[in-house]
Structures are given as structure tokens and as C-alpha cells.
Structure 1
């Protein structure tokens, strides 16, 4: 299926009288050059299954369908059902699921390995990412658009202002790379901030569930009081004894501890239990 055979998205939106809903954090990406580039960055094609969250009018969906991949879209806003049904009638490789992505069982949806490719709604981007990084289902890859500030936090390095809990969890579970900047003017309506696409590839040495649970507890405590030394912020979880067991200095702050350091903390905490 070629996008050129379909009416322009602006015409489709006008025909259906649809506008972005602020309460859903919607900003439509209608530029086909950008959506096609995201599809290329996702490295998907024939034989692949892709899950897209928040397709809206289907701008990125069209580009993903062009790759030949099987595309499953999860949309919470029922206003877009007629548009997506029309697209599904032309594309047998498209499946529409109406529902909340935070509550969806991706493993059951995909029925096997699947890639995540989405321009995520701003208001649920981070909770969805945490779900996919720490939940029971592991995607084959994630190519996701976030607000630029959130994207920077995902790929941040230690001892930088953006480095925090999100960076540690993302980088402990995946190889994370910022692959594309997208200016606000590319969206309809334009948001107040720029966006960026992050590509995440699950690590072969992804932490086992108990280790990942420990990592989440420790990073929540450490970065919840990021201006305090570790011996203070982790006092309730083992304090100085725990920190020394992980080979770290109790007087440093969380923002200077790298991902391996937090994984050692998780191992030390599990060993104490």
C-alpha cells in the first residue's frame, strides 16, 4: 500500500471535524517525510509485528504500513475509530485495538515478538516506557517519540542535570540512543516544546525481575532525595553498610553513580535479604 493513494491527513481530519484533545496530550504528526524517517529508524519490515500506541489520525501508522510490517494500533480516543477503520479496510496488515495502553497486555496482542513504534501522547509517555522496560513482556525494540526533555533524561549520562531514575532503568535494560530531533512546528497543533525520537534495544544481560525490582526501589529512594548523600537517601534500605557492600562511597550523591553502580547496589540489597 502506498501513502500517495490515500487522501492527505489534513483533509481527513477536516472531513471528520477532528482536532487534537489537550486532555489526552495529543499533537498530530502529519509530515510524511518525518513519519517515514521514523519508520526507517525503527528497522521494521515484512514479517515483523509492530505495536503503535496513540496513532490518532494515523500519520505514523501509514508509514509503518508501507514497510510491510503487521501493525497493531492501540487507541484510547474513540473519535479516531472511523479514520482507523477506513485505513484498516485498505490495509489487511492493520489491526485496531480500542483501549488504554497502560492496561493492555502486549504479549497477548502480538502473539509473539513485537516492536514498539510510537509518537507517544505526552501525558503518558514516561509511565508507558517504565511499563515496557520493567514489565513481564519485553519488546524486540522500542522506537519512541517523547518531549525532548524526557528523551534527554532517557539517554543522560552520570553527573549531568538530566541523569536520574529514568536513565538508570532505561540503560540497565536497554541500549538507548537519541536518533532524531523533531521541532515543535512539525506537529499539529505545535506543542510548546520540541520532541525527539529514542531507539532502545533490550540488552542481552537485562536484569532478572528480582534485580530489576530492587533497582526500582533503590533508584526511587536515591533520586527522591537527589541532593542528599547516598548514606542519607538510602538509610531506610541499608544505609552506609549497603553502600559499602556495593563498593561505593556513602558520601556521594545519586547523580554521580553510574548504572553499574546501581546494579551493584541492587545485588547488595538482594544479598542482605
Structure 2
């Protein structure tokens, strides 16, 4: 553990970060996608976008060395952070031991968050690694566990998937999932130089706010399954993906095609042309087949 002088880290200084990591015997872990946000303006903007109040509960994923953590705590929030790396856990525990509203959950957030799910936090924030960003967001949405506002950074390619509309090359089942639950906006772009080590791509700041437009959909499981499987092969038509879908094969094929007809979705279309509204209506019709 570094001495107390090192705990007063200049989060904008790659040199100080490197020296600290050397002292700790650590380094940015490529397998966990660790890049430190060294842009102070961006950090402040991310926290400002949370629009939190003093005393609000906030969850942060991937706090690293605590550059965003400190801003949140200094604004009086009750903060729980999820960190997988034992070295960073040790550092954060020491660095923020004087903050009574700080707690840390060790381990993989995908495996640990459900143990802390009595109710969603008011806010969720994180500098999310590319390799798990979609898994984290999907896990929250599919378990109907959505904070009042989420703000995080992801690689811009991922941000474009989250915000894409139908007939866009980036539109995917993940786009549908995100927009089913939330209004999703790209609210900022961060150049590679905003991070240390410098990544090879730009990042996006993404804001997600739940909209409740589809709260009448009771059978969300069917919606999630059907959407994913209809996107299983983007070059194929919906008809081909219907025939390949393990879930839809459980029903009478004529009934399935009839459900598409009722909703007004031509099965010669491709999945990326179908809107979120259409997928929701389709899920309602498919769900009725369970009772046949």
C-alpha cells in the first residue's frame, strides 16, 4: 500500500498515475479494459450529468483509482463502488476510508450486483470496459433494475450501437434492448488523449433515463428472447431467422407467421428495419401463443 502522500493523486497526470501503479506493483489490466480518465473537465461533466442530490445513492462500476469516485463523495452522495481488481480494491479502501458514505463491493459486477439489489440506486455511473459494457447494461434491463439515471463512458462504437435507429448499420438487438427501457443519448465524445493509457479509439459519454413507455408489456422474457433471435443473422430475412429460432420453434409455425401478420411486419424484411414499437407489439402476440 502506498504512503499517505501518494493518496493525494493528481488524476490528470499520467506520470503520477504510472508512478503510483509502479509502487503498487500494478498496471492497467488489458483484460479488464482499464484506461484512466485523465480529463478533469470530462470527469466533472459526467458527474454533473448525473444530476444527483446530496444523500442520493449512487453505484459506480470500475472506479479504478477513484477519480470520479472522489467527486461524487465530495458532493455528499452515498456511494457503492464495484471493483474486480484486488490491487485497486486495496488502494480505494485506503484512499476513501475517511468517507463514511463510501463502500466497496469486490468481484465481477455481473456476478455481485444482484446481492445488493434491494432497490435500484438513484444513479449509476462508470467508465465501462468495452468487453463488459453491454453485459452490464443488459443485466440491469433484463432484471428490471434500472436507476433513475445512468451515465457512463463506453467506446464510441458501443455508444453508436446503443443509440442507433432502424435502418442504421449499428442498429442491433442491443439497440432495441437499451431503447426499450430508456431514452438513450450520446451527450459527449472523448478523444483518446482523455485517457491513460491512450486507447486506439474515441469514447462516448452515454446518458440513459428510463421512460416507462412499454410498462404494459407483461411478458418481457418473450420480448428479450424474440428480439435477440431475430437478429441472430443480420443478412437473413425475418422469415429465415424465425425458422432458425430455438424459441419460436416451440410454437406452431403458422401461428408465429400469423402473429407477424397481425402486427403488420412483413417477414421478408430484415431485423434491423423493425422498430422498438414493432418488436414490443410482436412480443405481445407471440406471448399469446403460450396459452394455445
2: CA distance between counterparts of 1:32 and 1:90?
A: 23
Is 1:182 the equivalent of 2:184? no
Mean CA deviation greater in 62-71 or 120-129: 62-71
Is the Cα–Cα contact under 8 Å of residues 120 and 146 in structure 2 kept in the other structure? no
Is the Cα–Cα contact under 8 Å of residues 160 and 170 in structure 2 kept in the other structure? yes
Aligned CA RMSD, in angstroms, stands at 2.1
Is the Cα–Cα contact under 8 Å of residues 156 and 167 in structure 1 kept in the other structure? yes
Kindly report which structure 2 residues correspond to 1:106-121, keeping only aligned pairs within 5 A, or say none. Answer: 106=114, 108=116, 113-121=121-129
2: CA distance between counterparts of 1:58 and 1:206?
A: 36
SS at match of 2:100: coil
2: CA distance between counterparts of 1:37 and 1:162?
A: 26
Is 1:85 the equivalent of 2:93? yes
1:45-91 residue CA offsets vs partner (Å, 9 max, x unmatched): 30211100111111111222232211111100011123212322232
Match of 1:150?
Answer: 158
Bigger-Rg structure (1/2): 2
SS at match of 1:124: helix
Cα deviation, residue 209, structure 1:
7.7
> Which one of 131, 140, 144 corresponds to residue 132 of structure 1?
140
Unaligned runs of 5+ in 1: none
- Give aligned pairs, total: 269
Is 1:7 the equivalent of 2:9? yes
Give the TM-score taking structure 2 as reference length. Answer: 0.85
1:116-164 residue CA offsets vs partner (Å, 9 max, x unmatched): 1100122211111100111142322211211100101001011000111
Is the Cα–Cα contact under 8 Å of residues 154 and 166 in structure 1 kept in the other structure? yes
Is the Cα–Cα contact under 8 Å of residues 36 and 64 in structure 1 kept in the other structure? no
> Which one of 271, 276, 284 corresponds to residue 254 of structure 1?
271
> Which one of 77, 100, 113 corresponds to residue 108 of structure 2?
100
Match of 2:178?
Answer: 170
Is 1:265 the equivalent of 2:259? no
Match of 1:234?
Answer: 242
Is the Cα–Cα contact under 8 Å of residues 58 and 125 in structure 2 kept in the other structure? yes
Give the TM-score taking structure 1 as reference length. Answer: 0.91
SS at match of 1:103: helix
